[in-house]
Chain A
Amino acid sequence: MRAVDALMECLKAEGVDVVFGLPGGANLPTYDAFVTGGIRHILVRHEAGGGHAAEGYARATGKVGVAFATSGPGATNLVTPICDAMMDSTPTVFITGQVRTELLGTDGFQEADTIGITMPVVKHSFMIQHPTEIPRAIHEAFHIARSGRPGPVLVDIPMDLSRAEIDYEPVTDLRLPGYQPKIDGNQKQIRQAAKALAAAQRPVIYAGGGVVNANASAELIEFATSDRFPVTCTLMGLGAFPATVEGAGGREGGREPNPQWLGMLGMHGTRAANYAMDEADLICAVGARFDDRITGKLSEFAPRAKFIHIDVDPAEISKNVPAHIPIVGDAKNVLAKLIIEYRAIGAERERLDAWWSRIEGWKAKYPLSFEDSADAEIKPQYMVKALYEATGGEAIVVSDVGQHQMWAAQYYDFPAPRRWINSGGLGTMGFGLPAAMGAAVGCPEQLVCGLVGDGSVQMNAQELSTCAQNGIPVKIFIMNNGYLGMVRQWQELFWDGKYSHVDMGEFPDFVKLAEAHGVTGMRFADKHTLVEDMKRAIATDGPVLVDVRVTREENTYPMIPAGSAAREMVG
């Protein structure tokens, strides 16, 4: 069997049902194998689109996303998605073609040192040197991508090796002596953490994307509600703890705010969340990494708190903030054990009364709010609330990067994990549309809405054709203010209001752009009909691109200016 046919068998054995990719010279053999390989392939228009689609697929389904590209420019176009997957710990496998082995190192046509270029941004990579290595490399790649702290793994296959004949035998054993992620969590440390939590007067649970990756949302909810722990989530963790719960009237009664939910924390988080972190005496971080957008000025971050830090990646513990009780392990395993230990102590619930009355005070005094327009003008925050209403809060929302991303994070009350997909760590503009496409392919039963910026969406707008050709029914809502809005906001606030190259004008005409791609295009500009208009867009078959005209110069608040302390929140 050709090595590439073995490759297809390996992918099937790993449960791959779809690959996003683009063929080229160096992966012609691989694409020949697709003809009879029995794996769905979605032809993207740009490798970056394919890479982000694989990410969106992985984030929505929890399975490994896969993207293919050819050598040279095909591979270099994947660098941004690979880096993005690394920063947001997204399980992905990227398989690139490479020039024939005899041409390696000769600056051959479409040759690039893919392994070298991607080395700083992969969890691991394999350079295939012999065709018989391919099956094992593929299985090891999937294992590394999905286990421990998930991440991107790249396999680079020279063209002559991929077309070689090999004796294929399914690989059952992996040989990774240097890779043994610790997932269980040290029992003694967990007991210590339970004791510290039981003694805490002002505890906060700070949960991140690691909870989503570990599918530990149920455990987080059980842990938080085993007492009355206040919970805040990072941008990546939104949905891991539901912002809303079923109301007293059950399903029919609609949903109401989750009383233990503080909202998102960090630069554009709520005051309740940031002030609670500031005054906490114990912070229990779960699958979060104390990013600078969370801590602000590190020396003034949570000055009264001791830290329990639960993370599957030991290198994250005490990297930015020293942990008093470090626990290396998978959030699901550790939280399950922590619940048992904590219940055994039988902590007094009343001890948190004073803390809660302080938090309730902040919640009441500083709710997320904005000044709505008096006329038909659509405020961007209103647009997010309208989307929530039009979707009943039940959509998978995929965003790009910028102001719209922060407003979506603030105002769309995510009721479950894997409903919110965005580029958090790398902040990749152009992520939203292809990632929404990948999510929709992975979850065909669910409504997938893109909430993107007019600047961001143009960075991978070519994928509209992919959506049209494959009937991928994403509903993409552009929050169109004609600006690179977040940059404009920073120029306004911190650079004396001198705008430098942020005005995108009225270009392009998004309705015409949609139509050119074979996608339904719509334009909404009236607040009063927006919810109904959005429902109409959602009810339209196939992919839809909606140009929603919003207030041009609106700022995202509240905000902790970069490098400031939580107390210095403005807006």
Chain B
Amino acid sequence: MGEPGTKVPLSLEELEASTNMRTGRKHVLSILVENKSGVLTRIAGLFARRGFNIDTLTVGPTEDTQVSRVTLTVDGALHPIDQVTKQLHKLVNVLKIRDLEPADTVARELALFKVNADGAQRGELMQISEIFRGKVVDVTKRAIILEVTGTTEKIEAFETMVRPFGLIEMMRTGEIAISRGRSET
């Protein structure tokens, strides 16, 4: 058994062993923060030093100019969500955190795909795009840019479809999410 301070080397299994509860699913955290300088750094820094990995992160204004919303996704299989939210709550500029329930949440992401498209391929790509309710936003002789909005799963499915054509670039915004029904997120 490799222990701190002793000369016995640590095994990788021991390094990975952990006591904290894992939920095993993706979590979307919707965080209201005071619109003050450095808030995003505080959140990002907290994640980094506690060893939590952010999968996606979006920041934007809300209906209140004093308040911004940070939406971030974290893998609950890797990190103790309870500890993540409690630590976030300790940040003085964090006003409210919601761990959104997938069933009660509408989540969307926007993605732009730049794909190789000479004459022959263009039609097929446009067909696929239509099936995914995507939009053609730019066409040149050798490439096409497609815009798709939807859940992460939908965007990943679209990516799988267009990748064989020669994916030059992909850009994704990360998810934003809003709770269903009348109550506020």
Residues on A close to B: CB < 8 A?
A: 115-116, 119-120, 123-124, 127, 129, 144, 176-179, 292, 298-299, 313-315, 318-320, 322, 490, 494-496, 561-564
CB distance from A321 to the nearest CB of B (A): 8
Instruction: Give residues of chain B (1-53) contacting chain A, Cβ–Cβ below 8 Å.
Output: 1, 3-7, 19, 21, 33-34, 37-38, 41-42, 45, 49
Q: Are A315 and B34 in contact (CB under 8 A)?
A: no
Size category of the binding interface on chain B: 20 to 34
Q: Are A563 and B4 in contact (CB under 8 A)?
A: yes
Please measure, in the bound complex, the distance between the C-alpha atom of A496 and the C-alpha atom of B1, giving whole angstroms.
17
Q: Are B41 and A119 in contact (CB under 8 A)?
A: yes
Contacts of A320 in B (CB 8 A): 19
Contacts of B82 in A (CB 8 A): 318
Please measure, in the bound complex, the distance between the C-alpha atom of A322 and the C-alpha atom of B82, giving whole angstroms.
12
Closest to B37 in A: A127
Contacts of B19 in A (CB 8 A): 298-299, 320
Q: Are A564 and B45 in contact (CB under 8 A)?
A: no
Please measure, in the bound complex, the distance between the C-alpha atom of A127 and the C-alpha atom of B36, giving whole angstroms.
10
Contacts of B42 in A (CB 8 A): 119
Interface of A is mostly: loop
Q: Are A494 and B89 in contact (CB under 8 A)?
A: no
Known contacts A115-B38, A120-B49, A563-B1; A178 and B91 CB within 8 A of each other: yes
Please measure, in the bound complex, the distance between the C-alpha atom of A343 and the C-alpha atom of B90, giving whole angstroms.
34
7 examples of A-B residue contacts, CB within 8 angstroms: A119-B45, A177-B95, A179-B92, A496-B7, A563-B3, A563-B4, A563-B5
Q: Are B90 and A313 in contact (CB under 8 A)?
A: yes
Please measure, in the bound complex, the distance between the C-alpha atom of A452 and the C-alpha atom of B89, giving whole angstroms.
38
Q: Are A120 and B92 in contact (CB under 8 A)?
A: no
Contacts of B86 in A (CB 8 A): 314-315, 319
Instruction: Give residues of chain B (166-181) contacting chain A, Cβ–Cβ below 8 Å.
Output: none
Known contacts A129-B37, A177-B34; A495 and B7 CB within 8 A of each other: yes
Contacts of B1 in A (CB 8 A): 563
Q: Does B68 contact A (CB under 8 A)?
A: no
Q: Most chain-B Cβ atoms within 10 A of its Cβ — which of A115, A127, A177, A314? A: A177
Q: Does B87 contact A (CB under 8 A)?
A: yes
Q: Are A314 and B3 in contact (CB under 8 A)?
A: no
Contacts of B56 in A (CB 8 A): none
Please measure, in the bound complex, the distance between the C-alpha atom of A116 and the C-alpha atom of B38, giving whole angstroms.
9
Contacts of A177 in B (CB 8 A): 34, 95
Binary CB contact string for chain B from 75 to 109 against chain A (1 if under 8 A, 0 otherwise): 00000001100110111111100000000000000
Closest to B82 in A: A318
Closest to A298 in B: B19
Q: Are B5 and A562 in contact (CB under 8 A)?
A: yes
Known contacts A120-B49, A315-B83; A494 and B34 CB within 8 A of each other: no
Contacts beyond the supplied A178-B34, A299-B19, A322-B21: 19 A-B pairs with Cβ under 8 Å: A115-B38, A119-B38, A119-B41, A119-B45, A127-B38, A144-B92, A177-B95, A178-B33, A314-B86, A315-B86, A490-B5, A494-B6, A494-B7, A496-B7, A561-B3, A561-B6, A562-B5, A562-B6, A564-B3
Q: Are B87 and A315 in contact (CB under 8 A)?
A: yes
Q: Are A120 and B45 in contact (CB under 8 A)?
A: yes
CB distance from A268 to the nearest CB of B (A): 14
Closest to B96 in A: A178
Please measure, in the bound complex, the distance between the C-alpha atom of A56 and the C-alpha atom of B7, giving whole angstroms.
36
Contacts of B7 in A (CB 8 A): 494-496
Known contacts A124-B92, A178-B95, A315-B86; A562 and B4 CB within 8 A of each other: yes
Q: Are A176 and B41 in contact (CB under 8 A)?
A: no
Contacts of B83 in A (CB 8 A): 315, 319
Q: Are A178 and B94 in contact (CB under 8 A)?
A: yes
Please measure, in the bound complex, the distance between the C-alpha atom of A115 and the C-alpha atom of B36, giving whole angstroms.
14
CB distance from A441 to the nearest CB of B (A): 29
Please measure, in the bound complex, the distance between the C-alpha atom of A271 and the C-alpha atom of B175, giving whole angstroms.
54
Please measure, in the bound complex, the distance between the C-alpha atom of A179 and the C-alpha atom of B1, giving whole angstroms.
43
Contacts of A179 in B (CB 8 A): 92
CB distance from B36 to the nearest CB of A (A): 9
CB distance from A267 to the nearest CB of B (A): 10
Contacts of B92 in A (CB 8 A): 123-124, 144, 176, 178-179
Please measure, in the bound complex, the distance between the C-alpha atom of A561 and the C-alpha atom of B41, giving whole angstroms.
38
Q: Are B34 and A562 in contact (CB under 8 A)?
A: no
Please measure, in the bound complex, the distance between the C-alpha atom of A127 and the C-alpha atom of B42, giving whole angstroms.
13
Closest to A178 in B: B95
Contacts of B87 in A (CB 8 A): 315
Please measure, in the bound complex, the distance between the C-alpha atom of A337 and the C-alpha atom of B77, giving whole angstroms.
39
Closest to B4 in A: A562
Contacts of A178 in B (CB 8 A): 33-34, 91-95
Please measure, in the bound complex, the distance between the C-alpha atom of A564 and the C-alpha atom of B8, giving whole angstroms.
13
CB distance from B31 to the nearest CB of A (A): 10
Closest to B87 in A: A315
Closest to A320 in B: B19
Contacts of B4 in A (CB 8 A): 292, 562-563
Please measure, in the bound complex, the distance between the C-alpha atom of A123 and the C-alpha atom of B94, giving whole angstroms.
13
Contacts of B93 in A (CB 8 A): 178
Please measure, in the bound complex, the distance between the C-alpha atom of A119 and the C-alpha atom of B41, giving whole angstroms.
9
